[in-house]
Amino acid sequence: MSFHSTAAQLATLAAEGEHGGNHESLDPLVTGGSAFLVLLLLLWITTRFNRDR
């Protein structure tokens, strides 16, 4: 499979935007906010275990 044919297939796939896998019940703000909170929790846990610095 050449680079040109792969790029053409990816362009065709990207053009079909309505079938991109975005589910109606997934709100980007809720998903991003919950991911941010999880990362903050992991940062807090990491800093609690790393008190010797």
Sign of CA dihedral 32, 35, 41, 47: negative
Q: Looking at the whole model, is its pTM more than 0.85?
A: no
Q: How confident is the model at residue 44 (pLDDT cuts 50, 70, 90)?
A: very high
- Residues 14-38 as b/e (b if ≥16 CB within 10 A, e otherwise) read eeeeeeeeeeeeeeeeeeeeeeeee
Q: What is the pLDDT of residues 6-37, one digit of tens each?
A: 888 878 777 766 555 566 777 888 999 999 99
| CA 35 centroid distance within chain | 9
Biggest CA–CA distance in the chain, Å, is: 54
